Structure 1
Amino acid sequence: MAKAAEILEIPATITERGQTTVPAAIRKMLALGKRDHVVFRGMADGTVMIAKKNAEAEGADPVIGKFLAFLAGDMAAEPRRIRPVSPDLVARGAALVTGVDVDLDDALPDDEA
C-alpha cells in the first residue's frame, strides 16, 4: 500500500501591504533563490499552490526567444562583425540613470483593482 503524501504546513502572516515571506523550508523545497519568481495557483476549493516559475514553461515571450536565437546564430556565423560598446555610449547610458535609485528589496506599491 502506498504511503500518503505528507503535507508541509507552515503559518505565515500577510502584511498590511498584502505581502508575505515564503518560509525557508518552502524556499528550500522549491530551490528558490533571491530574485526567483513563483506562481500562485488558486483552486476552486479555496486552496492555493505555490510553484517555482519556469520562464520557458510559463509563457516566456516567444519573440524575445527567437530574437536571441537569431543573435546567437548571427554572432556564430559572423564573429568579425561583433564590436565592443564604445565608452561614449556607456557614458550616455549612465547619464540616463544618474540619480535614479532602485532598491529591488523595497516593498511594491499597493495594487490598484
Structure 2
Amino acid sequence: MNTTIEADSTLTDRYQTTVPATVRHALKLKRRDRIHYTIRPNGEVVLSRASDESSRDPVMTSFLAFLERDLQEHPENIQAVTVSTFAEAERLTSGVEVDMDEVLPEDDDDA
C-alpha cells in the first residue's frame, strides 16, 4: 500500500471505538478479525491485521489446549516450583550454551 490513509474515530465511555471503514477496507478486516497494535517510542501507533489463527502450529495449539483442559480439570496436580527443583534444573543445564538466533536444522527422517 503506497497511499497514506488517515482516519479518525472516537472512544466511547467504555474505551471502545469503531474502526473506520477506510481502515477496515485497507486492512481487509472482517467481523471478528483480530487487530495488532504496535506502539513506537515516539507515541506513534501502528495498527495492523493480527496474524491469522490458522497459521499457528496445529500440534502446538492442540497440546496447549490439552494442557489448559488438564489444569482446569485437575488443579490438585499443580505444584509450585521449589528452590531445590530450580537448582536441579540449573545443575542439569549448566554449561549448555544456546544461541537463540541459530537456525534449526530440518527434521532428519533417518533418525
Q: TM-score range by the shorter chain?
A: 0.3 to 0.5
TM-score, reference length from structure 1:
0.46
